[in-house]
Amino acid sequence: MISKSRLYIPRPTARPGDEPDFSYLDLSPAGAIDKPPIDSRTRDIEKLSSGLVRVLDDDHTAKGPWDPNLEPEQLQVALRWMLLNRALDDRMWQIQRQGRISFYMQARGEEAVSIAQGMALRPGDMCFPSYRNQGLYLYRGVKLVDMMCQCLSNTRDMCKGRQLPIMYHSKEGNVFSISGNLATQVPQAVGWAMASAIKGEDHLAATWLGDGSTAEADFHYALTFAAVYQAPVILNVVNNQWAISTFQGTAGGERRAFAARGLGLGIPGIRVDGNDLLAVYAVTLWAADRARRGGGPTLIELVTYRGGAHSTSDDPTKYRPKDEWEAFPLGDPVERLKQHMISEGHWSDKKHEAMWAELQADVHAAWKEAQKHGTMTEGPWLDPATMFDDVYAETPPNLESQRRRMLEVFSGK
Amino acid sequence: MAQMNMIEAIRSAHDVMMDKDPSVVVLGQDVGYFGGVFRCTDGLQRKYGEHRVIDAPIAEGGIVATSIGMGVNGLRPVAEIQFADYIYPGFDQIVSELARLRYRSCGDFFSPVTIRTPCGGGIRGGQTHSQSPESIFTHVSGIKTVMPSNPYDAKGLLISAIESDDPVVFFEPKRIYNGPFDGDPEKPGVSWSSHPKGDVPEGYYTVPIGSAAVAMPGDELTVITYGTLVHVAIAAAKETGIDAEVIDVRTMAPLDVKTLADSVNKTGRCLVAHEATRFGGYGAELAATIQKECFYSLEAPIGRVAGWDTPYPHAFEWQYFPGLKRIASGMRRAMEAE
């Protein structure tokens, strides 16, 4: 019976032991894609969803109409934030491996997404991130020590011990709370953007999800509502090729780019080199300007590669070639920006090493500070009685009674 | 005082709140220009405009999700899910997101969404227009679950729900939209005009969430129920001659335990009734609560009358529905039991 199956099963181009093969990835040379006016009709700019907007060329120069012409100081700021993201991830990964936090997820190889897009948005724009957007929280002002205390579920944890590590939130920074359920934030971002339009404000919403979770219904609700109401929202699909072991083809990426998902609804799609900070910044600014002027939503696909494991609970050597990242044609966003800055004459290996060392020291100091607020093995400890708070605006009698009972039991009654 | 049926009372609650609070917006399928398939939002778009009364695509998950986002951005959305039977595509957004947002962000983010949805049977709706899924929601911490049984409560509770900073799932028993129903499908329908709870103030008032009501006082038996069955229980008491006290739960979560327990401690006997299927139903929570609170007052085991544990059958509605005969029989058994 099964031997007769005619069902098509998508397969990645390379498995462990195979030569990495990115021949499936459609690439465009840097500078090759036109930059249309922001009031272009979707039907006139459909090509943006199949090409690949790139600014940084292989020779590290910036090319073409999408070059945002950032000042050297701005580039240095961008590099610094990407490096901080990486330094934090490196340290927290080690800390998890030492058994000192329960779980972690790193953004290795994808740092340009959060940092470039964070820079292109305005502070009043609301971000609805996915779990690999820690760079957004950093960029929008959440301190290293607070990120770490969240991961420790200690007395300074912004989540009071209620959330798995990395599920941050920042009301002050306008970065939403990470849920853990995939893609749920995407239609919520559309609702937030609709409210912004209803109130007559010019704030946008921006939201992120992975290539894998575009299969969720929530993504399609988001596209429909965003298109129907022309909501001022930027929908970002971070196509890092892998969703745990599910390659992007199983999410439906084999025949058409994720950037094209909205075309049927009239939502323009832009496919961009997600490891090119300049291109990501420029494309995001284009979409933000369009939305702010009433042009509605834009879907951006950021083509990148998940350089590390999905999480500390994952072992990617079981399902993909070990050296796949090194073969990824779009490289490493940190290295590419660094080389560009060096080629422009504003940066050097020496300066770079000094910055990296400084940021590692910042991370080291923050970890020392974070542990003072409690670790998994040493106090101070969070008060378990607080677990009954914030279920409702006011704690109802049944929860007060359960709180009392819990305290009785653990005081030996 | 005006005479209103439940539809008019619900519409009036919207009207009062939209007038009082410019952040209140309404969205759902067919709610705008058309005014809703049950007419609960009729006239609101004409009065408040299409930016506040919004016709939504047919995507319950999208309606709930966008409501959450609107709530986070300072609006106070009232979303209509056209039938409770169609709420499931929005279930993940309600359970994993709406209910937990305040908790997971320690109060930094919350979304004061009210989700209205017509529920229950007795309208020849078959399995896709008759369900009573309230216990699925009472099991979720972080949301409040409400089901009124008359126009006065419907308006007062809906205003409370809209004003609440907590999310509320607001079930509307559609069998009694136009008039109370005593559980006998052979009798001609009656309107709310002759019922005291059809007297509804035109303006603002609230019925608090978290308080049950004594719908009919009595001394021999307590019937704890809600929604359409409040009226069936009152009719069954009259038919059987049992001096029953009928308690209308009104808000399943949070539950007003005291009103329920006071009654059972007085009568010593208790019957729990709901339209939803019995196994794992809300009646089990009621029975367990009464057993704990009233153990030494109980003269007989707590009885339960509920929908049978099958999907809702179209052709056998009146064998399935806990109507007059089934409730009356349950009451007699509760009186005979020792």
Q: Give the integer Cα–Cα distance in Å for B283 and B304.
A: 7
pLDDT attached to residue A261: 98
Judged by CB atoms closer than 8 Å, whether chains meet at A171 and B109 is answered as yes
Q: Which residues of A touch B108 (CB under 8 A)?
A: 158, 169, 171, 177
Single out the catalytic residue among A54, A108, A156, A306: A306
Neighbouring residues of A284: CB distance < 8 A, sequence distance ≥ 6: A116, A117, A120, A121, A206, A234, A300
Residues within 8 A of A (CB atoms), B 270-309 only: none
Angle subtended at Cα B164 by Cα B158 and Cα B168, rounded to the nearest 5 degrees: 65
A184–chain B nearest CA distance, Å? 7
Q: Are strands B213-216 and B114-119 parallel, antiparallel or unpaired?
A: unpaired
Q: Give the integer Cα–Cα distance in Å for A334 and A111.
A: 8
**Any idea where the domains of chain B sit in the sequence?**
2-182, 213-336
Is CATH 3.40.50.970 the classification given to domain B2-182? yes
Residues within 8 A of A (CB atoms), B 35-94 only: 51-52, 54, 56-57, 59, 61-62, 65-75, 89, 92-93
Angle (deg, nearest 10), helices B151-163 and B6-20: 30
Q: Give the integer Cα–Cα distance in Å for A367 and A346.
A: 32
Mutation test of the interface with chain A: which of B66, B141, B144, choosing the one with the most A Cβ atoms within 10 A?
B66
Judged by CB atoms closer than 8 Å, whether chains meet at A167 and B107 is answered as no
* Mean pLDDT value across residues A243-267: 97
- Checking if the pLDDT of A98 tops 90, the result is yes
Closest chain B residue to A390, measured at CA: B103
Sign of CA dihedral A146, A148, A153, A155: negative
Taking alpha carbons only, the member of A152, A129, A154, A153 closest to residue A139 is A129
- Checking if the pLDDT of A1 tops 70, the result is no
Q: What domains does chain A contain, in order, with CATH numbers?
A: 29-308+325-382 (3.40.50.970), 384-413 (no CATH)
Closest chain A residue to B53, measured at CA: A198
A168 a catalytic residue: no
- Kindly state whether B202 is in contact with chain A, defined as any CB-CB distance less than 8 angstroms: no
Same fold, B2-182 and B213-336: yes
Neighbouring residues of B7: CB distance < 8 A, sequence distance ≥ 6: B38, B39, B40, B177, B178
* Mean pLDDT value across residues B138-144: 98
pLDDT attached to residue A188: 98
Q: Give the integer Cα–Cα distance in Å for A49 and A257.
A: 7
**Shortest CB distance from B65 goes to which of A187, A199, A205?**
A187
**Helix/strand/coil for A62:** strand
Per-residue confidence band for B337, with pLDDT thresholds at 50, 70 and 90: confident
Per-residue tokens: A113: 């997404």
Judged by CB atoms closer than 8 Å, whether chains meet at B57 and A169 is answered as no
Single out the catalytic residue among A310, A320, A340, A352: A310
**Shortest CB distance from B254 goes to which of A193, A198, A398?**
A398
pLDDT attached to residue A413: 73
pLDDT attached to residue A14: 97
CATH (one of 3.30.1280.10, 3.90.1310.10, 3.40.190.10, 3.40.50.920) for B213-336? 3.40.50.920
Q: Give the integer Cα–Cα distance in Å for B35 and B28.
A: 10
For B327, what's the count of Cα atoms within 13 Å in the CB-facing half-sphere?
A: 33
Give percent of chain B with pLDDT exceeding 90: 99
Judged by CB atoms closer than 8 Å, whether chains meet at A177 and B104 is answered as yes
pLDDT attached to residue A412: 82
Single out the catalytic residue among A229, A319, A346, A403: A319
- Checking if the pLDDT of A273 tops 70, the result is yes
How does pLDDT run across B289-310, given as a tens digit for each residue? Answer: 999 999 999 999 999 999 999 9
pLDDT attached to residue A2: 67
pLDDT attached to residue A294: 97
* Mean pLDDT value across residues A198-208: 98
**Shortest CB distance from B62 goes to which of A225, A391, A398?**
A225
Residues within 8 A of A (CB atoms), B 149-188 only: 164-166
Closest chain B residue to A161, measured at CA: B104
